[in-house]
Amino acid sequence: MDYHIPVRERKPSFWSYLVVGIVGAVIGGFLVLGIAPQILLHKTSNLLVGTTDPGTSGVTIPVPVYLNAEDLQDPYAAIMLVAQEVSPAVVGITNQAVIGYDFFGREYVQDTGGTGIIISEDGYIVTNEHVVANARSLTVFLADGRSFPATLVGAEKSTDLAVIKIEATGLPTVKFGDSDKVRIGQLAVAIGNPLGMDFSRTVTAGIVSGVDRILNISQDSAIRLIQTDAVINPGNSGGPLVNAKGEVIGLNSMKLASSEVDGMGFAIPSNQVKRVAEEIIATGRVRRAKIGASLADKEAVRRINPSVIIERGVYVYRVENGGPAQEAGIRAGDIILEIGGLQVSKVAAVQAFLSEKSPGEVVKVKVLRGNQEIVLEVTLGEASS
Protein backbone atom coordinates (compact mmCIF):
# COMPACT_ATOMS: atom_id res chain seq x y z
CA MET A 1 0.00 0.00 0.00
CA ASP A 2 1.37 3.35 -1.04
CA TYR A 3 1.24 6.11 1.47
CA HIS A 4 1.17 9.75 0.45
CA ILE A 5 2.82 11.87 3.04
CA PRO A 6 1.77 15.54 2.74
CA VAL A 7 4.73 17.96 2.51
CA ARG A 8 4.42 21.51 3.77
CA GLU A 9 5.49 24.09 1.13
CA ARG A 10 8.43 26.18 2.34
CA LYS A 11 8.46 29.87 1.55
CA PRO A 12 11.82 31.58 0.71
CA SER A 13 13.29 33.33 3.69
CA PHE A 14 14.34 36.98 3.87
CA TRP A 15 18.01 35.95 3.64
CA SER A 16 17.38 34.16 0.34
CA TYR A 17 15.99 37.32 -1.20
CA LEU A 18 18.97 39.30 0.10
CA VAL A 19 21.57 36.91 -1.37
CA VAL A 20 19.83 36.86 -4.78
CA GLY A 21 19.69 40.67 -4.78
CA ILE A 22 23.39 41.03 -3.99
CA VAL A 23 24.42 38.54 -6.69
CA GLY A 24 22.22 40.33 -9.24
CA ALA A 25 23.71 43.72 -8.34
CA VAL A 26 27.28 42.41 -8.75
CA ILE A 27 26.50 40.87 -12.15
CA GLY A 28 24.73 44.07 -13.25
CA GLY A 29 27.70 46.17 -12.18
CA PHE A 30 30.10 44.09 -14.29
CA LEU A 31 27.77 44.41 -17.27
CA VAL A 32 27.63 48.21 -16.89
CA LEU A 33 31.40 48.48 -16.62
CA GLY A 34 31.85 46.30 -19.68
CA ILE A 35 29.14 47.70 -21.92
CA ALA A 36 28.63 51.35 -20.94
CA PRO A 37 32.03 52.58 -22.23
CA GLN A 38 31.25 51.04 -25.61
CA ILE A 39 27.89 52.82 -25.69
CA LEU A 40 29.51 56.13 -24.76
CA LEU A 41 32.13 55.71 -27.46
CA HIS A 42 29.38 55.00 -29.97
CA LYS A 43 27.43 58.07 -28.84
CA THR A 44 30.52 60.28 -29.23
CA SER A 45 31.63 58.81 -32.54
CA ASN A 46 30.84 62.13 -34.18
CA LEU A 47 33.45 63.73 -31.95
CA LEU A 48 36.34 61.56 -33.15
CA VAL A 49 39.30 63.64 -34.21
CA GLY A 50 42.02 62.88 -36.73
CA THR A 51 45.78 63.15 -36.80
CA THR A 52 48.02 62.55 -39.73
CA ASP A 53 50.64 59.85 -39.44
CA PRO A 54 53.86 61.05 -41.10
CA GLY A 55 54.42 57.51 -42.39
CA THR A 56 51.10 57.15 -44.16
CA SER A 57 51.43 59.90 -46.79
CA GLY A 58 48.70 62.11 -45.39
CA VAL A 59 46.21 59.40 -44.41
CA THR A 60 44.05 60.69 -41.57
CA ILE A 61 43.89 58.27 -38.64
CA PRO A 62 40.98 58.72 -36.21
CA VAL A 63 41.91 59.12 -32.56
CA PRO A 64 39.04 58.06 -30.25
CA VAL A 65 37.75 60.39 -27.58
CA TYR A 66 37.57 58.39 -24.37
CA LEU A 67 34.98 59.06 -21.71
CA ASN A 68 35.35 56.94 -18.63
CA ALA A 69 33.38 57.07 -15.40
CA GLU A 70 35.76 59.63 -13.90
CA ASP A 71 35.47 61.89 -16.96
CA LEU A 72 31.70 61.88 -16.69
CA GLN A 73 31.97 63.29 -13.17
CA ASP A 74 34.17 66.14 -14.41
CA PRO A 75 32.13 69.33 -14.93
CA TYR A 76 34.61 70.30 -17.66
CA ALA A 77 34.08 67.18 -19.77
CA ALA A 78 32.73 69.31 -22.65
CA ILE A 79 35.98 71.30 -22.74
CA MET A 80 37.98 68.06 -22.89
CA LEU A 81 36.00 66.92 -25.92
CA VAL A 82 36.32 70.30 -27.65
CA ALA A 83 40.07 70.39 -27.07
CA GLN A 84 40.57 66.89 -28.49
CA GLU A 85 38.37 67.60 -31.49
CA VAL A 86 39.78 70.96 -32.53
CA SER A 87 43.46 70.88 -31.48
CA PRO A 88 44.68 68.73 -34.43
CA ALA A 89 43.64 71.55 -36.81
CA VAL A 90 45.41 74.26 -34.81
CA VAL A 91 48.89 75.18 -36.05
CA GLY A 92 51.80 77.24 -34.83
CA ILE A 93 53.24 79.93 -37.09
CA THR A 94 56.74 81.40 -36.92
CA ASN A 95 57.29 84.61 -38.84
CA GLN A 96 60.82 85.71 -39.61
CA ALA A 97 59.78 89.34 -39.97
CA VAL A 98 61.71 92.29 -41.30
CA ILE A 99 61.44 95.00 -38.64
CA GLY A 100 63.73 97.62 -40.17
CA TYR A 101 66.93 98.47 -42.04
CA ASP A 102 70.26 99.89 -41.00
CA PHE A 103 72.20 102.73 -42.67
CA PHE A 104 73.59 100.35 -45.30
CA GLY A 105 70.19 98.88 -46.19
CA ARG A 106 70.72 95.65 -44.31
CA GLU A 107 67.60 94.07 -42.83
CA TYR A 108 66.84 93.77 -39.16
CA VAL A 109 65.01 90.45 -38.75
CA GLN A 110 63.08 89.20 -35.74
CA ASP A 111 61.20 85.93 -35.19
CA THR A 112 57.62 86.38 -34.04
CA GLY A 113 55.00 83.72 -33.38
CA GLY A 114 51.29 83.17 -33.66
CA THR A 115 48.57 80.63 -34.30
CA GLY A 116 46.41 79.58 -37.23
CA ILE A 117 43.64 77.13 -38.12
CA ILE A 118 43.54 74.70 -41.04
CA ILE A 119 40.47 75.34 -43.19
CA SER A 120 41.10 72.89 -46.03
CA GLU A 121 42.63 69.43 -46.29
CA ASP A 122 45.08 70.67 -48.93
CA GLY A 123 46.81 73.18 -46.67
CA TYR A 124 44.99 76.52 -46.60
CA ILE A 125 45.35 78.17 -43.18
CA VAL A 126 43.71 81.34 -41.87
CA THR A 127 45.34 83.56 -39.26
CA ASN A 128 45.63 87.23 -38.29
CA GLU A 129 47.23 89.70 -40.69
CA HIS A 130 49.47 91.00 -37.93
CA VAL A 131 50.84 87.47 -37.36
CA VAL A 132 52.26 87.31 -40.90
CA ALA A 133 52.99 91.01 -41.49
CA ASN A 134 56.38 91.92 -43.04
CA ALA A 135 57.25 88.24 -43.39
CA ARG A 136 60.60 87.30 -44.89
CA SER A 137 59.71 83.64 -44.35
CA LEU A 138 56.89 81.70 -42.68
CA THR A 139 57.02 78.27 -41.04
CA VAL A 140 53.97 76.27 -39.95
CA PHE A 141 54.09 73.62 -37.20
CA LEU A 142 51.40 70.91 -37.26
CA ALA A 143 49.99 69.01 -34.30
CA ASP A 144 51.61 65.77 -35.51
CA GLY A 145 55.10 67.27 -35.22
CA ARG A 146 55.72 68.08 -38.87
CA SER A 147 56.70 71.54 -40.08
CA PHE A 148 56.31 73.16 -43.50
CA PRO A 149 57.35 76.42 -45.14
CA ALA A 150 54.32 78.54 -45.95
CA THR A 151 53.49 81.10 -48.62
CA LEU A 152 51.23 84.11 -48.18
CA VAL A 153 48.09 83.83 -50.31
CA GLY A 154 46.66 87.19 -49.31
CA ALA A 155 46.02 89.50 -46.37
CA GLU A 156 43.54 92.22 -45.44
CA LYS A 157 44.73 94.72 -42.86
CA SER A 158 41.36 96.36 -42.14
CA THR A 159 39.91 93.03 -40.98
CA ASP A 160 43.23 91.72 -39.56
CA LEU A 161 42.87 88.47 -41.53
CA ALA A 162 45.27 86.56 -43.77
CA VAL A 163 45.46 83.22 -45.56
CA ILE A 164 48.67 81.23 -45.95
CA LYS A 165 49.30 77.91 -47.72
CA ILE A 166 51.45 74.85 -47.07
CA GLU A 167 52.05 71.98 -49.49
CA ALA A 168 50.35 69.09 -47.68
CA THR A 169 47.23 66.95 -48.09
CA GLY A 170 44.86 64.97 -45.90
CA LEU A 171 45.03 67.53 -43.11
CA PRO A 172 42.48 67.80 -40.28
CA THR A 173 40.26 70.87 -40.57
CA VAL A 174 38.12 73.00 -38.27
CA LYS A 175 34.35 73.28 -38.49
CA PHE A 176 32.87 76.78 -38.52
CA GLY A 177 29.81 77.79 -36.52
CA ASP A 178 27.42 80.67 -37.16
CA SER A 179 28.78 83.68 -35.27
CA ASP A 180 25.49 85.53 -35.73
CA LYS A 181 23.97 83.02 -33.30
CA VAL A 182 26.57 83.55 -30.56
CA ARG A 183 25.00 84.51 -27.24
CA ILE A 184 26.41 86.15 -24.13
CA GLY A 185 27.20 83.60 -21.44
CA GLN A 186 27.81 80.58 -23.67
CA LEU A 187 30.97 78.48 -23.33
CA ALA A 188 34.04 79.82 -25.13
CA VAL A 189 37.24 77.79 -25.47
CA ALA A 190 40.44 79.39 -26.80
CA ILE A 191 43.26 77.29 -28.26
CA GLY A 192 46.62 78.72 -29.25
CA ASN A 193 50.36 78.98 -28.77
CA PRO A 194 51.04 81.61 -26.10
CA LEU A 195 54.69 82.67 -25.90
CA GLY A 196 55.68 80.34 -28.75
CA MET A 197 55.70 76.64 -29.55
CA ASP A 198 56.99 75.64 -26.11
CA PHE A 199 53.39 76.12 -24.96
CA SER A 200 51.71 74.93 -28.15
CA ARG A 201 47.95 74.30 -28.24
CA THR A 202 47.30 75.72 -24.81
CA VAL A 203 43.61 75.47 -23.92
CA THR A 204 41.81 78.13 -21.87
CA ALA A 205 38.10 78.40 -21.26
CA GLY A 206 35.58 81.01 -20.27
CA ILE A 207 32.39 82.49 -21.63
CA VAL A 208 31.30 84.88 -24.33
CA SER A 209 31.32 88.16 -22.41
CA GLY A 210 29.89 90.37 -25.14
CA VAL A 211 28.94 90.56 -28.80
CA ASP A 212 28.90 93.35 -31.38
CA ARG A 213 31.89 95.11 -29.82
CA ILE A 214 32.99 97.75 -32.36
CA LEU A 215 36.70 98.59 -32.61
CA ASN A 216 38.10 101.36 -34.81
CA ILE A 217 41.01 100.11 -36.95
CA SER A 218 41.56 103.45 -38.68
CA GLN A 219 39.69 106.65 -39.48
CA ASP A 220 37.64 104.93 -42.19
CA SER A 221 37.65 101.33 -40.96
CA ALA A 222 36.11 99.48 -38.02
CA ILE A 223 35.49 95.85 -37.13
CA ARG A 224 32.87 94.00 -35.08
CA LEU A 225 34.28 91.61 -32.46
CA ILE A 226 33.23 88.96 -29.96
CA GLN A 227 34.41 89.61 -26.39
CA THR A 228 35.48 86.74 -24.14
CA ASP A 229 37.06 86.24 -20.73
CA ALA A 230 38.91 83.11 -21.90
CA VAL A 231 42.60 83.85 -21.34
CA ILE A 232 44.31 85.13 -24.50
CA ASN A 233 48.05 85.79 -24.41
CA PRO A 234 50.68 86.91 -26.96
CA GLY A 235 50.95 84.07 -29.47
CA ASN A 236 47.25 83.19 -29.25
CA SER A 237 46.54 85.54 -32.15
CA GLY A 238 45.01 83.64 -35.06
CA GLY A 239 43.82 80.74 -32.91
CA PRO A 240 40.22 79.58 -32.69
CA LEU A 241 37.52 80.56 -30.22
CA VAL A 242 35.30 77.49 -30.05
CA ASN A 243 31.81 76.74 -28.71
CA ALA A 244 30.64 73.63 -26.82
CA LYS A 245 29.89 71.86 -30.13
CA GLY A 246 33.49 72.13 -31.26
CA GLU A 247 32.60 74.80 -33.82
CA VAL A 248 34.85 77.80 -34.44
CA ILE A 249 32.84 80.93 -33.65
CA GLY A 250 35.73 83.39 -33.85
CA LEU A 251 39.42 83.93 -34.52
CA ASN A 252 41.28 85.25 -31.47
CA SER A 253 42.78 88.57 -32.41
CA MET A 254 43.65 90.77 -29.45
CA LYS A 255 43.29 91.54 -25.76
CA LEU A 256 43.22 94.74 -23.76
CA ALA A 257 46.63 95.16 -22.17
CA SER A 258 46.17 97.34 -19.11
CA SER A 259 46.70 97.03 -15.38
CA GLU A 260 43.16 98.34 -14.97
CA VAL A 261 41.42 95.49 -16.83
CA ASP A 262 41.62 91.72 -16.82
CA GLY A 263 39.93 89.00 -18.85
CA MET A 264 39.00 91.09 -21.91
CA GLY A 265 39.93 89.25 -25.09
CA PHE A 266 38.45 89.72 -28.54
CA ALA A 267 37.83 87.48 -31.53
CA ILE A 268 36.83 88.18 -35.13
CA PRO A 269 33.42 86.55 -35.80
CA SER A 270 33.58 83.31 -37.78
CA ASN A 271 31.20 84.53 -40.49
CA GLN A 272 33.61 87.36 -41.24
CA VAL A 273 36.58 84.96 -41.18
CA LYS A 274 34.91 82.61 -43.67
CA ARG A 275 33.93 85.39 -46.06
CA VAL A 276 37.36 87.00 -46.14
CA ALA A 277 39.22 83.67 -46.36
CA GLU A 278 37.08 82.44 -49.26
CA GLU A 279 37.60 85.69 -51.16
CA ILE A 280 41.37 85.66 -50.60
CA ILE A 281 41.62 82.04 -51.79
CA ALA A 282 39.50 82.82 -54.87
CA THR A 283 41.07 86.12 -55.89
CA GLY A 284 44.15 86.74 -53.73
CA ARG A 285 42.63 89.89 -52.27
CA VAL A 286 39.56 91.23 -50.46
CA ARG A 287 37.18 93.64 -52.11
CA ARG A 288 35.83 96.17 -49.62
CA ALA A 289 32.27 97.47 -49.83
CA LYS A 290 31.38 101.15 -49.67
CA ILE A 291 28.15 103.12 -49.41
CA GLY A 292 29.52 106.25 -51.08
CA ALA A 293 28.75 108.80 -48.39
CA SER A 294 30.67 110.72 -45.74
CA LEU A 295 29.16 110.27 -42.29
CA ALA A 296 29.47 111.92 -38.88
CA ASP A 297 28.48 110.94 -35.35
CA LYS A 298 25.92 113.15 -33.64
CA GLU A 299 28.57 114.38 -31.16
CA ALA A 300 30.76 115.58 -34.05
CA VAL A 301 27.82 117.28 -35.75
CA ARG A 302 26.98 119.21 -32.58
CA ARG A 303 30.54 120.54 -32.43
CA ILE A 304 30.78 121.41 -36.12
CA ASN A 305 27.23 122.69 -36.70
CA PRO A 306 25.25 123.22 -33.47
CA SER A 307 22.16 124.19 -35.47
CA VAL A 308 21.75 120.55 -36.60
CA ILE A 309 20.01 118.54 -33.90
CA ILE A 310 20.41 114.75 -34.03
CA GLU A 311 18.94 112.51 -31.38
CA ARG A 312 19.75 109.16 -33.01
CA GLY A 313 21.52 107.69 -36.03
CA VAL A 314 24.47 109.08 -38.01
CA TYR A 315 24.51 112.22 -40.14
CA VAL A 316 25.16 112.22 -43.91
CA TYR A 317 27.14 115.41 -44.59
CA ARG A 318 28.33 114.56 -48.09
CA VAL A 319 27.26 112.14 -50.85
CA GLU A 320 29.70 110.88 -53.47
CA ASN A 321 28.71 112.05 -56.93
CA GLY A 322 27.44 109.03 -58.88
CA GLY A 323 28.13 106.73 -55.92
CA PRO A 324 25.89 104.00 -54.45
CA ALA A 325 24.21 106.29 -51.91
CA GLN A 326 23.32 108.94 -54.48
CA GLU A 327 22.06 106.31 -56.93
CA ALA A 328 19.77 104.97 -54.18
CA GLY A 329 18.38 108.42 -53.38
CA ILE A 330 20.28 109.25 -50.18
CA ARG A 331 20.93 112.97 -49.78
CA ALA A 332 23.27 115.14 -47.76
CA GLY A 333 21.46 116.07 -44.56
CA ASP A 334 19.76 112.69 -44.21
CA ILE A 335 20.21 110.77 -40.97
CA ILE A 336 20.87 107.04 -41.30
CA LEU A 337 18.91 105.17 -38.63
CA GLU A 338 19.38 101.58 -39.81
CA ILE A 339 21.49 99.72 -42.32
CA GLY A 340 20.72 96.11 -43.19
CA GLY A 341 18.23 95.99 -40.31
CA LEU A 342 20.92 97.08 -37.82
CA GLN A 343 20.23 100.20 -35.77
CA VAL A 344 23.26 102.49 -35.81
CA SER A 345 24.28 105.36 -33.58
CA LYS A 346 27.99 105.52 -34.47
CA VAL A 347 29.85 105.83 -37.77
CA ALA A 348 32.04 102.92 -36.62
CA ALA A 349 28.96 100.67 -36.54
CA VAL A 350 28.27 101.47 -40.22
CA GLN A 351 31.93 100.86 -41.10
CA ALA A 352 31.93 97.52 -39.27
CA PHE A 353 28.74 96.49 -41.07
CA LEU A 354 30.27 97.36 -44.46
CA SER A 355 33.44 95.39 -43.61
CA GLU A 356 31.32 92.25 -43.50
CA LYS A 357 29.73 92.85 -46.90
CA SER A 358 30.94 92.47 -50.48
CA PRO A 359 30.56 94.93 -53.35
CA GLY A 360 27.36 94.30 -55.28
CA GLU A 361 25.28 93.28 -52.28
CA VAL A 362 21.98 95.12 -51.87
CA VAL A 363 21.16 96.44 -48.40
CA LYS A 364 18.18 98.37 -47.06
CA VAL A 365 18.98 101.70 -45.46
CA LYS A 366 16.44 103.56 -43.32
CA VAL A 367 16.99 107.32 -43.26
CA LEU A 368 15.29 110.17 -41.47
CA ARG A 369 14.61 113.12 -43.78
CA GLY A 370 12.92 115.94 -41.95
CA ASN A 371 10.19 114.19 -40.00
CA GLN A 372 9.81 111.32 -42.44
CA GLU A 373 11.47 107.89 -42.26
CA ILE A 374 12.34 106.47 -45.68
CA VAL A 375 13.67 102.99 -46.57
CA LEU A 376 15.99 102.91 -49.58
CA GLU A 377 17.84 100.04 -51.27
CA VAL A 378 21.56 100.60 -51.81
CA THR A 379 23.71 98.46 -54.09
CA LEU A 380 27.10 98.60 -52.39
CA GLY A 381 30.07 99.74 -54.42
CA GLU A 382 33.73 98.76 -54.20
CA ALA A 383 36.07 100.86 -52.10
CA SER A 384 39.51 101.69 -53.40
CA SER A 385 42.35 99.59 -52.00
Same domain, 150 and 273: yes
- Tell me, yes or no, whether 10 lies in a domain: no
Same domain, 275 and 167: yes
- Tell me, yes or no, whether 8 lies in a domain: no
Residues 54 and 86: their CA atoms lie apart, in Å, by 19
Amino acid letter at 298? K
Same domain, 34 and 62: no
Of 55 and 253, which is predicted with more confidence?
253
Same domain, 24 and 84: no
- Of residues 160, 229, 297, 334, which has the active-site annotation? 160
Same domain, 243 and 307: no
| Predicted pLDDT at 307 | 82
Catalytic annotation present for 198: no
Residues 375 and 373: their CA atoms lie apart, in Å, by 7
- On the question of pLDDT at 222 being above 50, the answer is yes
Q: Dump pLDDT digits (tens) for 63-88.
A: 444 455 566 567 778 888 899 999 99
- Sequence-separated (6 or more) residues with CB below 8 Å from residue 182: 208, 211, 226, 243, 249, 250, 269
Average pLDDT over residues 336-365: 93
Residues making up the chain, counted from first to last: 385
303, with CB counted inside 10 A (0-12, 13-18, 19+), is exposed
Same domain, 307 and 341: yes
pLDDT band at residue 374 using 50, 70 and 90 as cut-offs: very high
Give the DSSP letter string of 262-294. -S-EEEEEHHHHHHHHHHHHHHSS-PPEE-SEE
- Of residues 237, 253, 270, 355, which has the active-site annotation? 237
Same domain, 137 and 171: yes
- Of residues 87, 130, 209, 270, which has the active-site annotation? 130
User: Which residue range is the domain that position 24 belongs to?
Assistant: 17-47
CA distances from 24 to 17, 30, 34 (A): 11, 10, 15
- Tell me, yes or no, whether 12 lies in a domain: no
Q: Dump pLDDT digits (tens) for 145-168.
A: 999 999 999 998 888 999 999 999
Same domain, 75 and 160: yes
- Tell me, yes or no, whether 356 lies in a domain: yes
- Tell me, yes or no, whether 9 lies in a domain: no
At residue 175's C-alpha, the angle toward residues 174 and 179, to 5°, is 120
CA distances from 211 to 181, 183, 223, 344 (A): 10, 7, 12, 15
Same domain, 96 and 34: no
CB of 201 closer than 8 Å to CB of 191 = yes
Same domain, 157 and 298: no
pLDDT band at residue 57 using 50, 70 and 90 as cut-offs: very low
Catalytic annotation present for 237: yes
Amino acid letter at 47? L
Same domain, 163 and 265: yes
Domain tally, the chain: 3
Which of 270, 286, 302 terminates a domain? The answer is 286
Same domain, 73 and 198: yes
Q: The domain that contains 351 carries what CATH number?
A: 2.30.42.10
pLDDT band at residue 21 using 50, 70 and 90 as cut-offs: low
Among positive and negative, which fits the CA dihedral 245, 247, 248, 249?
negative
- Tell me, yes or no, whether 298 lies in a domain: yes
- Tell me, yes or no, whether 200 lies in a domain: yes
Catalytic annotation present for 111: no
Which of 286, 316, 338 terminates a domain? The answer is 286
- Tell me, yes or no, whether 6 lies in a domain: no
Minimum mean pLDDT range among 39-48, 113-122, 164-173, 359-368: 39-48
Q: The domain that contains 232 carries what CATH number?
A: 2.40.10.120
236, with CB counted inside 10 A (0-12, 13-18, 19+), is buried
Count Cα neighbours of 382 within 13 Å in the Cβ-side half-sphere.
7
